[in-house]
Structure 1
Amino acid sequence: MNKFLLIAVLLMAALRANGQNTAAIKGTLIDSLDKKPVEFATVAVIDMRDTLSTLIAYTLSNKEGAFALHNIPGGIPVKLLISYVAYQPYRKLFTLKTGEQFDLGTIGLNSKQLQEVTIKDERMPVVVRKDTIIFDAEAFKTRPNAVVEDLLKKLPGVEVDNDGNITVMAKKVSKVLVDGREFFPTDIRIATKNLDADLIDKVQVYDDRENDPNHLIPESQVGKIINLKFKKAIKKSIFGKVYAGAGTNDHYQVGGLANMFRDT
C-alpha cells in the first residue's frame, strides 16, 4: 500500500513539475468593426528558434471567439499566428516565462479589403476549413531520408503505432490517398512506409463519408482519410527506391518501389 502511495505521489510531482516548465496562452477574437466573436479561426504557436518555424501547438476559436493553448515551452521565442478567411492574419512575437498564464485579452481582426496588395505570403503550419485539417509539411522537421510515416508522427493529434496503423484524434484512418487517388488500396501502409516525406507539400485530414453522403453515421463512428498532396515538381516525375541486406544463417532481404506520376 505504501509503495502504491509513493508511486502516486511521485507521479503527481512529475506532472506538476512538467506543468510548471510550460506556459499557457489565451484570448478572445472579435471582428474589429462589428465587435462580433470570430469562430473557427485557426490559432497557432510557432517555434522561432529555427528557420523552419516548427509548429508547437494549435487550436480553433469557439463560438464566443475564445481560445486557449497549453503546454507552451517557456523561455524560447515564439510567434502567435491567427488566420481566418476574409481576415488579415494576426501575428505577435514574444517569449513566455516558465509557468506564465499569458492573457492576450480581446483581439480585433481586420477584414481584408478588395484593393489589398499582398507583398509576402506567410505559410500557416495548420489550417482548418470546415471538417478538413491541412498541415503544411514544411513546418514539421523530419530526419534526412524520412518517409511519410515519420512525418505523420510529427503532426499534432496523429498517432502511428508499431504496426503502422494510423489514428487521428483517436479515430482510425481508413484510407491514405495521394493527390486524391488511392495508393495501393489493399494496404495503406505502402504509401506511408515507402514514400519520402520530402515529396509532400500538404497533408489533408478529413472525415471518411464517401459511403455516407447524408451524414447518417454518428461522427464518433466515422473514420478518417489522409490525403497526401505532392509538391508541384513531383507531379510529373519518375522516382523510386531499392534496398537489400544480408545476415547470418542465409537470411536476406531485398525489395524496391518505382513510381511514375503525371498531372492526370
Structure 2
Amino acid sequence: LDRMTAGLHGGELIIVGARPAMGKTTFGMNLVENMAFKSNPGIKPVLVFSIEMNAKEIVTRLIASMAHIEMDKLKKYRLDETDLKNMLTVATKVNNYKYPPIFICDGQVSAQEIRSITKRLSREYNGLGGVMVDYLQRINFPNDGRARHEQIGEASWILKSLAKELQIPVIALAQVGRDIEKGRKDKRPMNADLRESGSIEQDADVIMFVHREEAYQRDNPELKGKAEIIIGKQRNGPTGIVDMFFQGNYARFTETSQANIEQTV
C-alpha cells in the first residue's frame, strides 16, 4: 500500500469509503497508528474525531492492534501473562513520547468545530501529524434548510482546506451507498458509490475503499479474512487494488505475505 501511495502526504484529503461492517474504522485507525508511531514517533500527535464510537472503544482497538491482544479478551478483562507483558511494552513506549501520540475527540461535532479544535491543538503542539474523522456523513450539520449533498460538500471542502492550511494529511471515513448491493454482480465499490459523492470525489486527493467479499459470501471458506484496499483515485499516483488480510479480533489489516498489487494508470 505504501508503495502505491508513497505514504500519506501533508495537504491531502484522503477518503476511506466502505459499506457498514467492512472494517473502515479499523483500517482508518491502522493509518492513525502508523502516523502516530511510525511516521513521526513522539514528535507530532495525531487527532481523531470519533463521531460514531466513544473514546474507550477506540482505545480498545488501538491496544488490540498494537499489543496483539484479542479484543474479546480486552473487553472481558481475561488477560494472560503474555498479554500483560505486551500491554506494558506498549504503555512504556507511549509514555516515553514527548507528547501524547493520539488525541481522541468523541461525540457530535460540526465541520467548523473540527477546524477550530484542530487549529488550536496544532498551535499548542507546534503542528500535528494528521487528522482522522470517523465518519464524514455523521458530522453535525445545522438545520439551515440546505440539501444534504450541499452540507456534505461544505464539510469535505473544509477538511480539504484544513489539510492544505496546516500541511497535514486529513483522513475522512465515508459511508458507501447501499445501491452497491442491489443486483450488482461485482460488489467492489467505485468512486460514484460514495453517498453524496459529487463534492467528496472532487475534493479528495486520494480515495480508498475497504472491500471484503466475505461479507457477501459467508459460506465460502476461501474468502475468510481476505480483504482488498481499492485505490479509486490518486491525484499523483496509480489506482489499483492491494490484497490485504483482515484480523478483525485484533483490529488490524495486514498485507498478505505475497501481496498481489494490480496497478492501472
Return the TM-score normalized by structure 2. Answer: 0.26
Greater relative contact order, per chain length (Cα 8 Å cut-off, separation 6+): 2
Whichever structure has more strand as a proportion of its residues is 1
Larger Rg over CA atoms = 1
Return the TM-score normalized by structure 1. Answer: 0.26
